[in-house]
Structure 1
Amino acid sequence: MSTDIAQDFSPLIRIYKDGRVERLLGTATLPAGHDPTSGVVSKDIVYSTQSTLSARLYAPPSAISAGKKLPLLIYIHGGGFCIESPFSPIYHAHLNALVAEAQIVAVSVDYRLVPEHPLPCAYDDCWAALKWAVAHAGGSGPEEWLNACADFGRVFVAGDSAGANIAHRVAMRNAEEKLIELWGLVLVDPYFWGEDQIGDEPKDEAGRALPSGLWRLANPGSKNGLDDPEINATADPKLSGLGCRRVLVLVAEKDSLKDRGRLYCETLGKNGWPGKAEIHEAKGENHVFHLFDPACENAAARMKRTVSFLNEGKDG
């Protein structure tokens, strides 16, 4: 076993010269079931037998027993495309809390990670998960929780960091394939980047190394590098066709990615996209702070804004 490191993306992942991949974070898991804190119940399902891909479903027990229709959220975890899963402690806790607060049904999607599975695998997997969920719209899908409780007139896609990047790509693909009318898109500290420095982004090579290097790791076949529309969303000439009604972008003041989130929101407002985009900034906070300190005041405010957005569709 080689100890020679080929690529080091600490604190996330290391890749050794013999091809071995060492994930430094995001490998712990928790089982599904009843959460005594939130009261939410969860279970794991397979959404793609071809790729053996799964997701964790969440719902309030009262909605299941009563067959009450609730907004449906497709949630995509972050982790630089290379770590984490829906089953990790931070994401399991976050989805339990979000489902309880918003009174929604959620599908937290597992997808193939890089470098073993370069993009577009993650994009394709999450699109497949949305298609699997939408197949329940007629009430005769394989998963009874979705048949009974999901309101397919109020479908949202959300993600944080790299998961927000994927959520954006899912919404773009939805515009092309017209699978369903998405009510909204929630992008939390979205991982967008570009070749040229903007705003408060680091100017030096060392400061830009991690976000730039992770993209090259995730998509080594990209012909446009850091100006690929998949990572530099505002460079996409098709952005005005984004396939959803509303967008909420959540950014954090101390996050080096925040200016890309702001620019995304501003560009949507200027380029002819017919929906409504809004932004909420957490002062004094860093990237995905709410996952690691969910009890802090700014995390509560971020949760409140997200819940309000998810509930906007309840009255049609």
Structure 2
Amino acid sequence: MDSGSTEIVVDCGFFRIYSDGRVERFAGMETVPAGFDADTGVTSKDVVIDANTGVATRLYLPAIHTAPSPPQSDDNGSHHLFARVVAVSVGYRLAPEHPLPAAYEDSWAALNWAVSRADPWLSAHGDPGRVFVAGGSAGANIAHNMAIAAGASGLRAAEQEPPPRVEGVLLLHPSFAGEQRMEEEEDGFWQANKRRWGAIFPGARDGLDDPRINPMAAGAPSLAKLVGERLLVCTASEDPRAPRGRAYCEAARASGWRGKVEWFESQNEGHAFFVAGHGSPEAVALMDRVVAFIAGH
């Protein structure tokens, strides 16, 4: 290895890219094997949906032979609701090794695979008439783009009986950006975010005003094209991404979209706090809100 190969050419905080093309990641790559979780009664399995790219999904199946669990209270009096959904988590190819739009392509393939009920778990236990498209952070950006694509072109399984129906779209702490800094955005974060997007999506049209990065950019598809009947956007007061999440919610309301738009903000918490602090009161309140959204009340 020559001395030049160890030069850092991009440092985004989450990862570094070296001059020899090597990528060093700092978080977010830990996984556990699929299987049965005794604490929740949920069983999971991995299914490869594209042998060429290696893209796989992890399916989560809740206990199905018991009656739905009633809301329960902990010592703090907060209520824990149970979603009881069959979840399909997409193992899309990661940037910067696989720059965008690879993740969008993988997620679109996975969404269409899921609604086609190709897997026995989905055909036996999934309800194609109540599909939710959801994601957190970068996954929320992807979920938005899947909702726009599905609203514009429809899903490939539209001719099956019964046809799939996307009921709701759920964005947790969405990651968006733009060429122009919003007044509420911190300048340091906006600059860092610009470098990060440049590394993961070098082919973006119009830079950060590519519609897939900035849904409110001039020329972006109208949010009125979103698939679904209900939208929930969740932000956190201390998340530097929150201003764009709030703006997205307001833009959806103003777009003429036929569905119901809802917004929920966790106070005194940062970006994706619910991952590491999943047992905190704010995380429990957020998850209760998410489950209530899915349940429809």
The alignment's TM-score, normalised by the length of structure 2, stands at 0.87
Q: Residues 229 and 172 from structure 1, CA distance in 2 versus in 1: closer, same or farther, beyond 3 angstroms?
A: same
Q: Cα deviation per residue 1:165-221 (whole Å; 9 max; x = unaligned)?
A: 000000111012211431001000000111222242113xx3322211111112111
CA separation in 2, counterparts of 1:133 and 1:237?
25
Alpha-carbon distance in 1 for matches of 2:59, 2:283: 23
1:268 and 1:116 map into 2 onto residues whose CA distance is 33
Conservation of the 8 A alpha-carbon contact between 2:189 and 2:240: no
Among 133, 143, 153, which residue is 1:177 paired with? 153
Can you give the 5+ residue segments of structure 1 that lack an aligned partner in the other structure? Answer: 69-99
Describe the SS at the equivalent of 2:130: strand
CA distance in 2, matches of 1:238, 1:268: 9
Question: What residue is the counterpart of 1:4 in the other structure?
Answer: 7
Report how far residue 222 of structure 1 moved: 1.6
Tell me whether 1:105 sits opposite 2:86 in the alignment. yes
2:203 aligned partner: 221
Give me the whole-angstrom Cα distance separating, in 2, the residues matched to 1:46 and 1:211.
32
Letter in structure 1 aligned against 2:21: G
Secondary structure at the counterpart of residue 169 of structure 2? strand
C-alpha offsets along residues 135-184 of structure 1, whole Å, 9 cap, x if unaligned? 11xxxx3x211111000100001001110000000011101221143100
Number of equivalences: 273
The answer (yes or no) to whether the contact 2:58–2:88 under 8 Å persists in 1 is yes
Which residue in 2 is equivalent to 1:124? 105
The 1:33/1:121 distance shift into structure 2, 3 A limit, reads same
**1:61, CA displacement in angstroms?**
2.7
Contact 1:48 1:129 in 2 (8 A): no
Whole-Å separation in 2 of the counterparts to 1:240 and 1:199: 25
Counterpart for residue 129 of structure 2: 153
Q: What's the Cα RMSD here?
A: 1.9
- Name the CA distance, whole Å, in 2 between partners of 1:207 and 1:57: 35
Bigger CA drift: 231-240 or 53-62? Answer: 231-240
Q: Secondary structure at the match of 1:298?
A: helix
Counterpart for residue 72 of structure 1: none
Contact 2:222 2:255 in 1 (8 A): no
For the pair 1:292 / 2:276, whether they are aligned, the reply is: yes
Q: Whole-Å Cα distance in 2 between the matches of residues 189 and 171 of structure 1? A: 16
Letter in 2 for 1:101: F
The yes-or-no answer on 1:167 pairing with 2:143 is yes
Amino acid at match of 1:34: F
**Deviating more after overlay: 147-156 vs 237-246:** 237-246
Q: What corresponds to 2:74 in structure 1?
A: none
User: Which position in structure 1 is the counterpart of 2:72?
Assistant: none
Aligned partners of 1:40 and 1:60 also within 8 Å? yes
TM-score, structure 1 normalization: 0.82
Q: Which runs of 5+ in 2 are unaligned?
A: 69-80, 156-163
Q: Could you say what secondary structure the match of 1:254 adopts?
A: coil
> 1:1-316, aligned counterparts within 5 Å?
1=1, 2-10=5-13, 12-62=14-64, 101-136=82-117, 141=118, 143-179=119-155, 180-203=164-187, 206-235=188-217, 236-312=220-296
Q: Name the aligned partner's letter for residue 116 of structure 2.
A: A
SS of equivalent to 2:261: strand
More helix by share: 1
Poorly superposed stretches of 4+, deviation over 4 Å = none
Q: 3-state SS of the aligned residue for 2:167?
A: strand
